[in-house]
Amino acid sequence: MMTGLHVRDLVTEFHSRSGVTRALHNISFDVGANEVVGVVGESGSGKSTVVRSVIKLLMPPGRVMEGTAEFDGQDLIRLSERQIRQIRGKEIGFVAQNPFSALNPVVRIEKQFANIAKAHGLKVDTESRARALDLLASSGVNDPERVMRGYAHELSGGMAQRVVIAMALYLNPRLVIADEPTTALDLTVQRQVLDTLTRLTKDCGRSMLIVTHDLGVVANYCDRVLVMYRGRIVEQGPVSEVFVRPQDPYTVSLLNSVVQPKAAGTAHPTELSESRSI
Ligand SMILES: Nc1ncnc2c1ncn2[C@@H]1O[C@H](COP(=O)(O)OP(=O)(O)O)[C@@H](O)[C@H]1O
Ligand SMILES: [Mg+2]
């Protein structure tokens, strides 16, 4: 049994009265154990559709037509709604773009942690509560006790997303999937929240698939990168190769678009981020 996530020939379409849109064309990629894989590409290229197809959170009229997404020996695509629910939250943690859509506005944060445990048949006791408090603290939530007693609307966007991250990691998932987890947040806290998410994921030897439009984030945090364009992966590989010697013209233009050219002709992808560490 291979560990990690192995997606093969995924084809996803949106069917409506006005016709069929093929949003994904034979997508194949792997997320190995302990690996952080970034997904980049312009808006509408299919990044969210990949993520949502894999974890069965695709909204109608979206439909996976072909392909497999093998995770620890089973094909997620073919699981029933009930089976995927057992995996989501427990084996695979998900962090969406908008934290407030992931939090229940009328249920105290503490109760929401408890509900996650209960949904997976785990007992709720002082130990599980302590674990939630620990995770909130390591996610950068000040005064976790107070946050646990409160409601989502009392939190800033950055704090709410930190709570969602703690919830996503609560049951120790082996894989964390994040879809532009900080785009809804203030610029000043975006990097901090991403730092937290990747640090907590990597420190525990989990793997991660992270969608982002921020190539600096990929340069800093990801081992490998998938470049999407119009529903296809046009290039994928180690960040150190793809960003330094891009092979596809779209990757080249994507990298050039974020480089600050000092003078005509001197722009180079290695100037991508002052703090990159590849
Ligand atoms: N609800 C929908 N109905 C029809 N087509 C959709 C819908 N959602 C997404 N699509 C199609 O899928 C493509 C990819 O969308 P998405 O995965 O959200 O892109 P990204 O996350 O890269 O911005 C869109 O360009 C569009 O053609
Ligand atoms: Mg998206």
Q: What total number of domains does the chain contain?
A: 1
Of the residues 21, 27, 211, which should be mutated to test ligand 1's pocket, given the most ligand atoms within 8 Å of the CB?
21
Q: What is the pLDDT of residues 2-24, one digit of tens each?
A: 689 999 999 999 999 999 999 99
pLDDT of residue 2: 63
Q: What is the pLDDT of residues 110-154, one digit of tens each?
A: 999 999 999 999 999 999 999 999 999 999 999 999 999 999 999
In a domain, 11, yes or no: no
In a domain, 144, yes or no: yes
- Name the nearest CA neighbour of 239 among 261, 265, 210, 267: 210
Of all protein residues, whose CA lies closest to atom 24 belonging to ligand 1? Answer: 44
pLDDT of residue 260: 52
| Domain containing residue 228: CATH number | 3.40.50.300
In a domain, 14, yes or no: no
In a domain, 251, yes or no: yes
46 lines ligand 1 (CB under 6 A): yes
151 lines ligand 1 (CB under 6 A): no
Name residues whose C-beta falls within 8 Å of residue 219's C-beta, 6 or more positions apart in sequence.
239, 243, 272, 273, 276, 277, 278
Whether 216 and 194 have beta carbons less than 8 Å apart is answered as no
In a domain, 28, yes or no: no
Q: What is the pLDDT of residues 197-241, one digit of tens each?
A: 998 888 888 999 999 988 988 999 999 999 999 999 999 999 999
CA 48 / ligand 1 centre spacing (Å): 8
CA 45 to chain centre: 16
- The whole-angstrom separation of Cα 235 and Cα 221 is 18
In a domain, 1, yes or no: no
* Token code pair at residue 177: 């999937």
In a domain, 18, yes or no: no
45 lines ligand 1 (CB under 6 A): yes
Q: In which domain, by residue range, is 138 found? A: 36-61+78-271
In a domain, 252, yes or no: yes
Q: What is the pLDDT of residues 27-61, one digit of tens each?
A: 999 999 999 999 999 999 999 999 999 999 999 99
